[in-house]
């Protein structure tokens, strides 16, 4: 089932510098809440900048759903300290509010108002808001407030150029894109390891439950919070992920051109379901950007996505077609409630090891039969990952192995990769992270989901969430800035507002003309 990569690892040990220069970026979402745990009713604070144009602080679906975006860096400590500075600055500017520490929001009633994020009067701003209006009308608003952490990862170009002795691709761009697609397919095959280890949403409000409760026997606590005894990340389940099934779109990640064609087809094909919503209401207000399967590329919610930085006026599809895949975006990370930043260094180290492993293991092309099996494995881990002696499918003949058996094979390789990375940095950080995390398979009570569920059952989600959010808020407002001093962040706040004003002044097209051009 898993290829022997001892020769590839031996090659890397002989050429350790090939793994120097791994770049990473973090996007962390978090809901602004009132001190009593209710959703914040205020607009995005002016004092932290324009959500349309700020380099590092923006909003996602709703006005109270903050998103912190770090620059890319090859230094993990810099990345985390940068993220911390963004949290410190924001906390100091929302003294009467807090940041919710879980992926799943606490729902105090089912008719609460969730204001969609606003980005001003420019065409670009209107487009962002109408896209979110479309998400609300297509999938519901509450479900779009579920938060996560996105981890962006790229291997050095030198690695892609040199690690394969027999390069069959025509050019470097083809080779790199092919390598990343190989990584992506392996992430689908084995990426369930991430929600098993780091999933932190084992419980969910009754307002999110649909027909899933019929399939799984949920238990309920006094707060009307439903949970499963062995679940890991309900955020990643069909309860939390509301979107078109990528199987229906025939997206298999086997070939970049096929992937882009499938994505383009979804962007241009009307959906019967969304046509029924209508493009505009009776007053002429847009209800969505269009009535197609996807409004824009970002509406394709998958566990991992191929990405490329776009140039001004360029779409993601154009960027990928013209210059190939630049990095991958990991989207299956729940917010880590045990870290003030929603992610910690141990997670990053383990992700590095696992993603390198996914790049090294050869991955056959995936068809729909394979993908159905992959989906079953993810579902098993999401709903019952910590079940004693849990097994997953290893091939299309329904053969299975236990998680412990598979983890032994994977972690043996991860430890060898850790030795190489630690050799480069002259420490033992990766080996330590590998050793600590491997214990999660031997003792599932060490997983984040088990720890999280214990707290939620004993103390409740509201009490736990408020305790952690107050604790982290106090820590942020009492911390010193490490990379960004307060002046830099205040200057960026001013600059972002000025840029938004300038964008609004420069609009010459009507919104209909603007959206047609897009």
Whether the per-residue pLDDT at 105 is higher than 70: the answer is yes
Question: 383 with 231: CB under 8 angstroms?
Answer: yes
Residue 62: both structure tokens together: 């709703």
Whether the per-residue pLDDT at 111 is higher than 90: the answer is no
Average pLDDT along the chain: 92
Per-residue pLDDT tens digits for 366-403: 999 999 999 999 999 999 999 999 999 988 778 899 99
* Complete edge-to-edge strand list for the sheet that includes strand 203-205: 203-205, 225-227, 219-220
Per-residue pLDDT tens digits for 39-50: 999 999 999 999
Residue 126: both structure tokens together: 């209107």
Instruction: Name the CATH code of domain 5-517 (choices 1.20.1250.20, 3.30.590.20, 3.40.50.150, 3.40.50.12280).
Output: 3.30.590.20
Q: What is the pLDDT of residue 447?
A: 98
Question: 253 with 469: CB under 8 angstroms?
Answer: no
SS3 400: strand
d(CA 369, CA 388): 27
The residues, any chain, with a CB within 8 Å of residue 171's CB and separated by 6 or more, are: none
Per-residue pLDDT tens digits for 265-315: 999 999 999 999 999 999 999 999 999 999 999 999 899 999 999 998 899
d(CA 436, CA 240): 29
Point out which residues pair with 99 in neighbouring strands. 32
Per-residue pLDDT tens digits for 17-37: 999 999 999 999 999 999 999
Q: What is the pLDDT of residue 341?
A: 98
Q: What is the pLDDT of residue 419?
A: 97
Q: What is the pLDDT of residue 41?
A: 92
pTM of the predicted protein model = 0.96
Q: What is the mean pLDDT of residues 342-350?
A: 98
Whether the per-residue pLDDT at 51 is higher than 80: the answer is yes
Whether the per-residue pLDDT at 215 is higher than 80: the answer is no
Q: CA Rg, the chain, in Å?
A: 23
Domain boundaries, the chain: 5-517
Q: What are phi and psi of 73, to 5 degrees?
A: -155, 155
Question: 51 with 58: CB under 8 angstroms?
Answer: yes
For residue 177, count CB atoms less than 10 angstroms from its CB and return exposed for 0-12, middle for 13-18, buried for 19 or more.
buried
| Contacts of range 300-303, beta carbons closer than 8 Å, 24 or more positions apart | 300/243, 300/244, 300/246, 300/249, 300/251, 300/263, 300/266, 301/241, 301/242, 301/243, 301/331, 302/246, 302/251, 302/331, 303/187, 303/188, 303/191, 303/236, 303/330, 303/331, 303/332, 303/378
Q: What is the pLDDT of residue 290?
A: 96
Q: What is the pLDDT of residue 212?
A: 58
Q: What is the pLDDT of residue 241?
A: 62
């Amino acid at each position: 089932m898993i290829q022997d990569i001892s020769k590839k690892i031996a090659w890397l040990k002989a050429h350790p510098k090939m793994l120097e220069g791994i770049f990473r970026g973090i996007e962390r979402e978090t809901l602004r809440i009132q001190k009593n745990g209710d959703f914040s009713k205020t607009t995005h604070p002016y004092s932290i900048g324009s959500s349309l144009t700020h380099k590092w602080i923006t909003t996602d679906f709703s006005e109270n759903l903050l998103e912190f975006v770090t620059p890319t860096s090859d230094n993990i400590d810099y990345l985390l300290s940068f993220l911390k500075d963004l949290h410190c600055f924001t906390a100091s500017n929302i003294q009467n509010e807090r940041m919710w520490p879980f992926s799943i929001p606490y729902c105090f009633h089912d008719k609460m108002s969730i204001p969609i994020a606003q980005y001003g009067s420019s065409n670009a701003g209107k487009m962002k808001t109408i896209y979110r209006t479309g998400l609300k009308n297509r999938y519901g608003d509450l479900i779009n407030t579920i938060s996560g952490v996105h981890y962006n990862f790229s291997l050095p170009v030198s690695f892609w150029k040199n690690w394969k002795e027999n390069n069959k691709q025509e050019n470097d761009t083809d080779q790199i894109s092919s390598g990343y697609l190989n990584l992506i397919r392996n992430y689908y095959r084995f990426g369930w390891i991430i929600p098993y280890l780091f999933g932190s949403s084992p419980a969910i409000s009754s307002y999110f439950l649909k027909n899933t409760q019929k399939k799984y026997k949920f238990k309920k606590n006094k707060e009307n919070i439903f949970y499963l005894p062995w679940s890991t990340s309900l955020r990643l389940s069909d309860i939390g992920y509301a979107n078109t099934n990528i199987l229906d779109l025939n997206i298999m990640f086997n070939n970049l051109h096929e992937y882009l064609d499938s994505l383009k087809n979804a962007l241009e094909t009307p959906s019967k379901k969304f046509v029924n919503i209508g493009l505009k209401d009776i007053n002429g207000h847009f209800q969505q950007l269009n009535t197609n399967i996807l409004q824009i590329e970002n509406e394709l919610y998958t566990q991992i996505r191929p990405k490329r930085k776009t140039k001004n006026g360029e779409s993601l599809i154009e960027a990928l077609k013209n210059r190939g895949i630049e990095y991958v975006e990991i989207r299956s990370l729940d917010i880590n409630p045990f870290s003030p930043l929603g992610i910690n260094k141990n997670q990053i180290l383990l992700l590095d090891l696992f993603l390198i492993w996914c790049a090294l293991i050869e991955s056959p092309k995936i068809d729909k039969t394979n993908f159905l099996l992959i989906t079953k494995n993810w579902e098993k881990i999401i709903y019952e990952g910590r079940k004693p002696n849990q097994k997953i499918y290893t091939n299309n003949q329904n053969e299975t192995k236990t998680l412990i058996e598979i983890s032994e094979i994977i972690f043996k390789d991860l430890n060898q990769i850790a030795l190489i990375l630690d050799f480069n940095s002259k420490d033992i950080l990766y080996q330590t992270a590998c050793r600590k995390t491997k214990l999660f398979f031997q003792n599932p009570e060490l997983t984040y989901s088990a720890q999280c569920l214990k707290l939620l059952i004993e103390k409740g989600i509201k009490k736990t969430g408020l305790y952690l959010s107050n604790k982290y808020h106090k820590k942020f407002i009492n911390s010193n800035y490490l990379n960004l001093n307060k002046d830099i962040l205040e200057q960026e706040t001013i600059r972002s507002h000025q840029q938004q004003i300038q964008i609004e002044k420069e609009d010459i097209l009507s919104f209909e003309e603007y959206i047609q051009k897009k």
